[in-house]
Amino acid sequence: MKIFKLPAFLFAITVSAGLLSVDAVASEPSVLPSWNDSTSRQDIINFVDAVTDKSSPGFVAPAERIAVFDNDGTLWSEKPAYFQLLFAIDRVKVMAADHPEWKTTQPFKAVLENDIDALADTGEKGLLELVMATHANMTTDEFTRIVTNWLAAAKHPRFKRPYNELVYQPMLEVLAYLRANDFKTFIVSGGGIEFMRPWVEAVYGIPPEQVVGSSIKTKFEVRDGRPVLVRLPELNFIDDKEGKPVGINQHIGRRPIAAFGNSDGDLQMLQWTAAGEGKRLMVLVHHTDAEREWAYDKDSHVGRLDKALVEAGANGWTVIDMKKDWKTIYPH
């Protein structure tokens, strides 16, 4: 096991000199420092110890150390609604000047009138129209700029901070800890792949090629002698529920040995991870902290956690109790 932030050679010297037992290391605060000394923290450390110890029967070669993370509700918050939906709503308001017809057409009318009930009434069809109107009919480069500019300016309604500051400090530490132990960390999110890529490298240390997500189709075109990729108003792939193992296979082509989620949308990803040979780590973030973040599970429309929590209990998967297990929530 390598210790996050403790140079490997120093650790090796320390251990070989018998100055530090492995048990002592596990409760060493330099590993996952924003975590209380909880079962969930210990599960993560025990797993990493087992798969990185060459003398352990659970040893896994570095190339096979694939860890996947849901994004919404697992790496950053998802309330009062998925941040990408809030982005789409903001975009409709900006774009409305060029679309006078939106004043009288749903789902745009509901958005412009801040009528959340009416928006909800438009259902999946309305949501899809909202996404296509705000996410398609521009080049991939233009969309990247739009997302980047929105993130730089928009503020979360409750915390009054940029959305990409509402990421979980304890999970940033898990990402770094796994990478320090030669894991490759991937995002596998129901969110849009191109909505995440512009910012996740700076925030999570996850490069664009390690992001799996939902997508619309794109088309190669040469415009004024310059090749571009145009985003089309047509669904390509929904990376949620049964789609997550499909997306993992399509993009990664190996089965992960560790998976982190927070909702029923992550259940199949956890099942797929659990079904592989050898040591596995399946983790659910349970939102239990109404004061510092939000408390919700089976009755929530956003990030519903019901079946996956039952299955976690039945299979001994790790469940993070956000309120009890995390010393801090956000980096700020």
Instruction: Mark the segment that binds its own copies (CB under 8 A) among 53-61, 108-116, 221-229, 313-321.
Output: 221-229
Among 246, 295, 321, 330, binds its own copies (CB under 8 A): 246
Instruction: Mark the segment that binds its own copies (CB under 8 A) among 29-37, 115-123, 208-216, 324-332.
Output: 208-216
Task: Answer yes or no whether residue 179 interacts with its own copies by CB under 8 A.
Answer: no
Among 218, 262, 263, 318, binds its own copies (CB under 8 A): 218
Considering beta carbons, is residue 123 or 207 the nearer one to its own copies? 207
Closest contact distance (angstroms) between CB of 251 and its own copies is 6
Among 271, 300, 302, 323, binds its own copies (CB under 8 A): 271
Whole-Å CA distances, 32 to 60, 246, 280, 331? 22, 31, 19, 13
Task: Answer yes or no whether residue 275 interacts with its own copies by CB under 8 A.
Answer: yes
Task: Answer yes or no whether residue 226 interacts with its own copies by CB under 8 A.
Answer: yes
Q: What is the dihedral of CA 211, 216, 217, 222, to 10 degrees?
A: -80
Tell me if 58 sits within 8 A of 278, measured CB to CB: yes
Closest contact distance (angstroms) between CB of 144 and its own copies is 10
Task: Answer yes or no whether residue 63 interacts with its own copies by CB under 8 A.
Answer: yes
Task: Answer yes or no whether residue 307 interacts with its own copies by CB under 8 A.
Answer: no
Task: Answer yes or no whether residue 12 interacts with its own copies by CB under 8 A.
Answer: no
Which residues fall within 8 angstroms of residue 100, CB to CB, at 6 or more apart? none
Tell me if 193 sits within 8 A of 212, measured CB to CB: yes
**H helices within the chain, ranges in order?**
8-16, 22-26, 39-52, 83-95, 108-112, 116-121, 123-135, 140-153, 169-180, 193-204, 243-251, 267-274, 307-315, 322-325
In whole angstroms, what is the distance from residue 74 CA to residue 78 CA?
9
According to DSSP, the β-strands at 226-237 and 211-223 are antiparallel
Give the residue among 316, 275, 320 at the shortest CA–CA distance from 293: 320
Closest contact distance (angstroms) between CB of 58 and its own copies is 21
Footprint of its own copies (CB under 8 A)? 63, 66, 140, 184, 193-194, 197, 201, 207-211, 215, 218-220, 222, 226-227, 229, 236, 242-243, 245-246, 249-254, 268, 271-272, 275
